[in-house]
């Protein structure tokens, strides 16, 4: 099988993409800059800049009112989604770091959306398992430890409303999903991708956006 037409994303072309997407506002830009300044070794965990407008778009597209985020880091993605929620919408943000999420809290307050975000500092599986078991989640964004992705998936899918969306980041994992070694860094992500593709409850597409982004809709 041959791949279709593809375009190499140079630095210049990437800037062109950003210029033709909705621009980040001052709070978002400040948070991105602060993350790179305070956590230069970990800043790669932040969702890509173009994913902020995309996540906001998906919140509006699905009419989401109840969003769950697994893996918040410094809060850029949560900020982007919360800004797109209606005033009575709610986002539950799951993370284990008070240090990282403190910067998110400041940004959420500055953007006027702190009342829409409930930050839960605990292992995400504990937080998910404590949620009501009925179908109530409209959209979930998963960007956390890759070894637990299938476990997160299995907690989220039964709680997702029909037509609801799970967005999973890093599903190409720097190309390491092609490494056949079971001990490779991408082995867990590959296992997750196989699990998602075989799940008849959902319909999914894996997109070559940033480090791979999978959109999964509940049937």
Count of the separate structural domains present in the chain:
1
Taking the C-alpha atoms of residue 207 and residue 63, their distance in angstroms, rounded to an integer, is 22
Position 198 in a domain: yes
pLDDT over threshold 70, residue 113? yes
Range of the domain at 164: 11-218
Position 5 in a domain: no
Predicted local distance difference test score (pLDDT) of residue 181: 83
pLDDT over threshold 90, residue 18? yes
Predicted local distance difference test score (pLDDT) of residue 60: 98
pLDDT band at 2 (very low <50, low <70, confident <90, very high): low
| 110 Cβ neighbours under 8 A, 6+ residues apart | 27, 30
pLDDT over threshold 80, residue 6? no
Which of 191, 97, 81 lies closest to 144, judged by CA? 97
Mean of pLDDT values over 32-47 = 96
pLDDT over threshold 90, residue 4? no
Position 105 in a domain: yes
Position 211 in a domain: yes
pLDDT tens track for 126-150 = 999 999 999 999 999 999 999 999 9
Position 85 in a domain: yes
Position 88 in a domain: yes
pLDDT tens track for 55-68 = 999 999 999 999 99
pLDDT over threshold 70, residue 5? no
Position 6 in a domain: no
pLDDT over threshold 70, residue 90? yes
CATH of the domain at 51: 3.40.50.150
Which of 210, 176, 174, 177 lies closest to 46, judged by CA? 210
The CB density around residue 150, as the number of other CB atoms within 10 Å, is 15
Position 4 in a domain: no
pLDDT tens track for 154-187 = 999 999 999 999 999 999 999 999 987 887 779 9
């Amino acid at each position: 099988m041959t791949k279709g037409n593809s375009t190499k994303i140079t630095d210049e072309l990437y800037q062109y993409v950003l210029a033709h997407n909705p621009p980040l506002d001052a709070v978002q830009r400040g948070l991105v800059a602060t993350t790179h300044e305070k956590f230069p070794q970990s800043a790669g965990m932040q969702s890509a800049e173009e994913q902020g407008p995309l996540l906001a778009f998906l919140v509006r597209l699905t009419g989401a009112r109840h969003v769950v985020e697994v893996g918040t880091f410094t809060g850029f993605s949560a900020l982007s989604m919360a800004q797109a929620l209606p005033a009575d919408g709610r986002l539950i943000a799951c993370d284990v770091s008070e240090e990282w999420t403190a910067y998110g809290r400041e940004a959420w307050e500055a953007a006027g959306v702190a009342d829409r975000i409930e930050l839960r500092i605990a292992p995400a599986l504990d937080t998910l398992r404590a949620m009501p078991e009925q179908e109530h989640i409209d959209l979930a964004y998963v960007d956390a430890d890759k070894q637990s992705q299938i476990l997160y998936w299995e907690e989220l899918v039964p709680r997702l409303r029909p037509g609801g969306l799970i967005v999973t980041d890093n599903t190409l994992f720097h190309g390491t999903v092609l490494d056949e070694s079971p001990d490779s860094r991408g082995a867990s992500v590959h296992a997750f991708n196989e699990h998602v593709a075989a799940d008849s409850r959902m319909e999914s597409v894996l997109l070559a956006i940033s480090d791979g982004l999978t959109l999964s809709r509940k049937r």
